Amino acid sequence: MRSSGEGERRMDAQGFDYSHHLQLDTLLSSLRQVTDHPEEHLFITVHHVLELWFKHIIFDLGRIVAMIDADNLAQANWLMRRIAEILKLAEAHWTVLETMTAADFAEFRGQLTGASGMQSRQFRQVEVMMGLCETAGPEYCARTERMWPGLIAEHPRTLRRVFFDCFERQGVSLLDVYRDRWTRHALFQLAENAFEIDRRFQSWRHNHILMVRRQIGIRAKGTGGTFFRDYLASTTAYVFFPELFEFRNELTEDAGGEVMPGP
Ligand code: HEM
């Protein structure tokens, strides 16, 4: 056991220490400002942190898809809950970014020229792996394919596909599972976790818009070239599992509640 005085840098014989394990030299040296505005530091940090989380979500989504295909629902459920937690954390970054004032951002955003979160390949990959191409319509898929050729084809087994294939294999509907939720608990949890991920993603999008309004104004054009009021608003309609939202109407109707004609 080390004494309390051994807080100094230590390396084992192979040169393996904290900094080496985490590749901190590489990681930290990638924070390079393109302006001399001190607030750009926070701007880059928040983007980096979110890209790291996107990377981890992509990593876990690959595992989850394989687990559901193998009917290993206990482990898939555990990891899906983690993704929902990460998305909750991701959303918390908007209020941190809002501590950069609009006036500060205005002082350096002109130098960011055409760089925009819209060009995040990892963000698009997360959406594609969730199965957004199956629900968002042909315009979304064409735009994604134009920008990232081959990305959609890379992920034929989306979370959506494996989710509904699993329900089919077990020969039950969503309604059956919710009615028998304590006996069909693994499938019930799968549906609740999928719903939670969808809900958190929507919340992330909404709160990104609220943050953008604060930073550049409601009618401003983004550095990616869109009038975000229209573009980002259109993305708030994206849902990975519309069925999970829809069938809840049936529950309400079954219980004698009134539901407006759909969809
Ligand atoms: C001051 C901070 C920010 C502002 C003013 C801002 C503004 C915008 C705007 C206006 C758009 C629409 C596209 C465009 O014309 O550029 C956009 C898209 C986007 N932003 Fe941000 N953003 C900020 C921070 C971030 C951060 C930290 C991330 C984290 C990765 C991010 C991720 C995204 C993504 C993924 C999109 C594309 C959304 C989609 O296509 O569905 N943004 N942002």
Q: The CATH number of the domain where 174 resides is what?
A: 1.20.58.480
In a domain, 27, yes or no: no
Comparing 12 with 219, the larger pLDDT belongs to: 219
Peptide bond into 242 cis (omega under 30): no
Residue whose Cα lies nearest atom 2 of ligand 1: it is 212
Residue whose Cα lies nearest atom 21 of ligand 1: it is 117
The set of protein residues with a Cβ atom below 6 angstroms from ligand 1 is 46-47, 50, 97, 105, 116-118, 120, 123, 208, 212, 215-216, 222-226, 228, 231-232, 235
What pLDDT score was predicted for residue 7? 52
Range of the domain at 183: 38-254
Half-sphere exposure of 154 (CA within 13 A, CB side): 15
Overall number of domains in the chain: 1
In a domain, 147, yes or no: yes
Pocket test for ligand 1, best of 46, 51, 57, 116 (most atoms within 8 A of CB): 116
What pLDDT score was predicted for residue 8? 57
pLDDT band at 76, cuts 50/70/90? Answer: very high
pLDDT band at 9, cuts 50/70/90? Answer: low
Query: Taking Cα atoms as reference points, which of 191, 178, 190, 143 lies closest to residue 250?
Result: 178
pLDDT band at 16, cuts 50/70/90? Answer: confident
Pocket test for ligand 1, best of 37, 126, 232, 240 (most atoms within 8 A of CB): 232
Mean pLDDT (whole number) for 11-34: 90
Mean pLDDT (whole number) for 103-130: 95
Distance from Cα 228 to the centre of ligand 1, integer Å: 9
Q: How far apart are CA 121 and CA 151, in angstroms?
A: 9
